[in-house]
């Protein structure tokens, strides 16, 4: 169970079962940081295939929510994650989208060979935002494999 | 006809709106958890005591929606908490509930992957609240 208002957990272990898998860099993590950190923690805890991706991923991923002017940087360190408030430097990938699209990214289905599915309703919606420029992914071309891994870790489907 | 916020009539109209919504029915297929809304007191807004809404939702329909105490709502599987004026902003479309949660204006307790999986259902649930004409304790 998660409480998105639980800012006092900064820098502490969130769960005994994940061995410090998710930590927060800031003393007062934003609600968005706590929500994303909590979501990833729950996914990794409950789904072995996501744990495998999590254990292999080393990357810095920024997510900026354009309609609330808030963002986080996710620093994946092969088996652990540090969530920073705001945009930190040296990001491999930066995703910029509205809140609804960010939520939809978490609802992408994962299909054959671990690829996100872009041909169902949610996938078409995400692809359409990308084509309209309402979903921008900086670093996409040089980090497609990383983006797919991040998407798999994020996805609740 | 407008009804007083958090009255039994309001709960009934809200329940009817949810059960009328084909969008909710499709988006909430498979949902089987209770949802509690905690409306925190704001005495300066003529809302002196915290109250709760307990929603028994199952597989795309509302089995019951009733108004109770904040403690009743806190016992639900998922609990969303905000002060009275925030809920008013949500119900009058001044605040998008998804954005509100990402900003911490609405505090969510419950299994995050589940709630994210049902984002569309929760958005439609919010839409249903906006369709109920309401008389607010602090005026409209």
Does residue A107 form part of some domain?
Answer: yes
Looking at the structure of chain A, the number of domains it has is 1
Find the chain A residues whose C-beta atoms sit closer than 8 A to any C-beta of B: 1-5, 30-32, 34-35, 38-39, 42-43, 46, 65, 67-68, 70, 99-100, 102-104, 106-107, 156-157
CATH code, A136: 3.30.1050.10
With an 8 Å Cβ cutoff, are A70 and B117 in contact? no
Range of the domain at A115: 7-154
pTM (predicted TM-score): 0.85
ipTM confidence: 0.82
The 8-class DSSP code of residue B140 comes to: -
A43, A50 Cβ separation under 8 angstroms:
yes
Q: Which CATH class is domain B3-135?
A: alpha beta
- The whole-angstrom separation of Cα B79 and Cα B53 is 10
DSSP conformation letters of A2-70: EETT-GGGTTS-S-GGGTS-EEESSSS--HHHHHHHHHHHHHHHH-HHHHHHHHH-EEEEEEEETTTTE
B74 touches chain A (CB under 8 A): no
Q: B132 vs chain A: nearest CA distance in angstroms?
A: 24
The 8-class DSSP code of residue B44 comes to: G
Domain regions of chain B by residue span:
3-135
Does residue A34 form part of some domain?
Answer: yes
With an 8 Å Cβ cutoff, are B102 and A68 in contact? yes
pLDDT at position A12 is 42
Does residue A70 form part of some domain?
Answer: yes
Residues of B in contact with A39 (CB under 8 A): 112-113, 116
The tens-digit pLDDT sequence of chain A (157 residues) is: 455 444 333 444 443 344 579 999 999 999 999 999 999 999 999 999 999 999 999 999 999 999 999 999 999 999 999 999 999 999 999 999 999 999 999 999 898 888 889 888 899 999 999 999 999 999 988 999 999 999 999 999 8
- The whole-angstrom separation of Cα B60 and Cα A36 is 26
B14, B54 Cβ separation under 8 angstroms:
no
Q: A41 vs chain B: nearest CA distance in angstroms?
A: 10
* C-alpha distance from residue A49 to each of A15, A43, A152, B96 (Å): 19, 9, 9, 33
pLDDT at position A3 is 52
**Under DSSP, is residue A109 helix (H, G, I), strand (E, B) or coil?**
coil
Closest residue of B to A157, CA-based? B117
The alpha carbon dihedral of A28, A147, A106, B103 has a sign of positive
Which of A112 and B20 is assigned the larger pLDDT?
Answer: B20
pLDDT at position A65 is 96
pLDDT at position B139 is 87
Does residue A2 form part of some domain?
Answer: no
């Amino acid at each position: 169970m998660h409480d998105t208002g639980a800012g006092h957990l900064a820098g502490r272990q969130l769960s005994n079962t994940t061995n410090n898998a998710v930590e927060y860099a800031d003393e007062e993590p934003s609600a968005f940081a706590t929500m994303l950190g909590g979501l990833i923690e729950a996914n990794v805890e409950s789904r072995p295939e996501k744990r495998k991706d999590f254990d292999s991923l080393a990357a810095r991923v920024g997510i900026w929510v354009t309609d609330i002017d808030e963002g986080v940087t996710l620093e994946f360190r092969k088996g652990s994650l540090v969530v920073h408030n705001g945009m930190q430097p040296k990001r491999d990938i930066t995703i910029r989208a509205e809140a609804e699209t960010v939520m939809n990214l978490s609802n992408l289905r994962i299909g054959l060979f671990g690829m996100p599915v872009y041909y169902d309703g949610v996938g078409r919606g995400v692809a359409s935002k990308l084509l309209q420029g309402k979903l921008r992914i900086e670093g996409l071309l040089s980090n497609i494999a990383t983006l797919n891994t991040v998407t798999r870790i994020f996805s609740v489907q | 006809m407008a009804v007083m916020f958090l009255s039994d009539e309001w709960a009934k109209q809200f329940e009817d709106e949810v059960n009328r919504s084909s969008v909710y029915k499709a988006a909430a297929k498979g949902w089987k958890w209770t949802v509690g809304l905690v409306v925190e007191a704001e005495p300066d807004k003529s809302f002196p005591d915290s109250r709760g809404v307990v929603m028994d939702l199952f597989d795309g329909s509302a089995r019951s929606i009733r108004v109770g105490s904040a403690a009743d709502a806190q016992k639900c599987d998922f609990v969303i908490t905000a002060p009275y004026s925030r809920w008013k902003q949500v119900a009058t479309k001044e605040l998008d509930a998804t954005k509100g949660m990402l900003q911490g204006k609405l505090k969510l307790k419950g299994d995050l992957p589940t709630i994210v999986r049902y984002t569309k259902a929760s958005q439609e649930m919010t839409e249903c609240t906006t369709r109920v004409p309401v008389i607010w304790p602090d005026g409209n």
